[in-house]
Amino acid sequence: MHTPLRATPGPASFQPAFEWALLAVLATCWGASYTFIKIGVATIPPVTLIAARTLIAGTLLLAVLRIRGVKLPTEPAMWGRFMLQACLNSVLPFTLIAWAERSVDAGLATILNSTSPIFIFLLGLGMGGAEKPTLRRLFGVGAGLAGICLIVGVEALNGLGHSLLAQLGLVAAAVCYGCAAMFGRVFKGLDPMVPAAGSLLSGAAMLLPASIAIDRPWALAPSAASMGAVLALAVLSTALAFTIYFRLIKTLGPMSTAAQAYLRVPIGVMIGVVFLGEVLAPTAWLGLACIVAGVVAMTMPARQRSRAELDSA
């Protein structure tokens, strides 16, 4: 008879907690982006705002890659994937959100744009190899949406139907994020910073000509607050966030990574409370509990029952 060795904590056992921490950081970066965008679009048109955001973030990541000695791939096929990812994860959704926030309240915008896990779930139903639609994930989707409504306040939904095109644009942005999370799995073999930089630079290449043609950026007079918001968007909500995002796509999977859409709502609301003087709805704490339950349900890995471990003891 042998005495089974007791496992000692190591990098593998530490990894799940670390990935969850990264999910919270990602949610914070993207939760703050709504405030940054609101400040930015006050004096900078949406296309130019997003062009500057992607260009600054892509250039920053490229510089970091150079310092690390990591080169971007040169294959045309890979750059084609970067271009598609850019359309799904930055060019279309970023621009739609910036445009919509000129006429839609932040609370309603947050609700409508936090539905990407639902679209990932629906996309996964028809895709081979996608994560299975379990009852636990269904509960997570429902609990998350219920928590969002409770936190922002049901009264925020009173505006539903007004500014219809802008609201549909926010839903379309959520669909784009869902598609991007599913497509992002093609970059599994790459350093997470590589697809982040490649897709952002590709996005900037598409948006800069549009900005020049539409907004004539040299004629703009942006405020210092708007320029600071663009810088914060580029560094925190884009460069750092995209690096974390592509890592989590590899480690947690698309569905679990998309659960940050629920986490970023209470974070975004708290940023509004602290910096913009907004008041939380009375149901906020109950909503936060629903969101936490939803995130746990969607991100907790399924327990694998294995008799091999018992038999080897």
Is the separation of the CB atoms in 43 and 49 below 8 Å?
no
55 vs 184: which has the higher pLDDT:
55
How many CB atoms are closer than 10 A to CB 191? Answer: 16
pLDDT of the residue at 281: 66
Is the separation of the CB atoms in 241 and 29 below 8 Å?
yes
What sign does the CA torsion over 145, 266, 253, 234 have? positive
Using DSSP, state whether 112 is helix, strand or coil: helix
State CA 56 to chain mean position distance.
Answer: 18
Q: Mean of the pLDDT values across residues 140-162?
A: 72
pLDDT of the residue at 129: 52
| Most confident option among 80-84, 145-149, 251-255, 272-276 | 80-84
**252 vs 263: CA distance, rounded Å:** 15
pLDDT of the residue at 218: 92
Residue 5 has pLDDT above 50, yes or no: no
Tell whether 127 is covered by a domain. yes
Tell whether 176 is covered by a domain. yes
pTM: predicted TM-score of the whole model, two decimal places:
0.78
Residues whose CB is less than 8 angstroms from the CB of residue 15 and which lie 6 or more positions away in sequence, other chains included: 251
Tell whether 313 is covered by a domain. no
| Most confident option among 17-21, 272-276, 288-292 | 17-21
pLDDT of the residue at 63: 95
Domain of residue 166: give its range.
26-300
| Most confident option among 172-176, 256-260, 275-279 | 172-176
Among 8-17, 41-50, 71-80, 90-99, the minimum mean pLDDT is found in: 8-17
- For the chain, what is the domain count? 1
pLDDT of the residue at 62: 96
Tell whether 312 is covered by a domain. no
pLDDT of the residue at 71: 92
Tell whether 284 is covered by a domain. yes
Tell whether 227 is covered by a domain. yes
Tell whether 245 is covered by a domain. yes
| Most confident option among 121-130, 154-163, 178-187, 284-293 | 178-187
- Take residue 119 and report the two structure tokens written for it: 């679209």
**43 vs 162: CA distance, rounded Å:** 24
Is the separation of the CB atoms in 117 and 261 below 8 Å?
yes
Tell whether 16 is covered by a domain. no
CA-only gyration radius of the chain, Å: 20
Residue 109 has pLDDT above 70, yes or no: yes
Q: Mean of the pLDDT values across residues 6-14?
A: 44
Using DSSP, state whether 202 is helix, strand or coil: helix
What are the percentages of helix, strand and coil residues in the chain, rounded to 5?
75, 0, 20
pLDDT in tens, 206-260: 999 999 999 999 999 999 999 999 999 999 999 999 899 888 888 888 767 877 7
pLDDT of the residue at 147: 80
Alpha-helical runs (H) found in 127-163: 135-152
pLDDT in tens, 40-73: 999 999 999 999 999 999 999 999 999 999 999 9
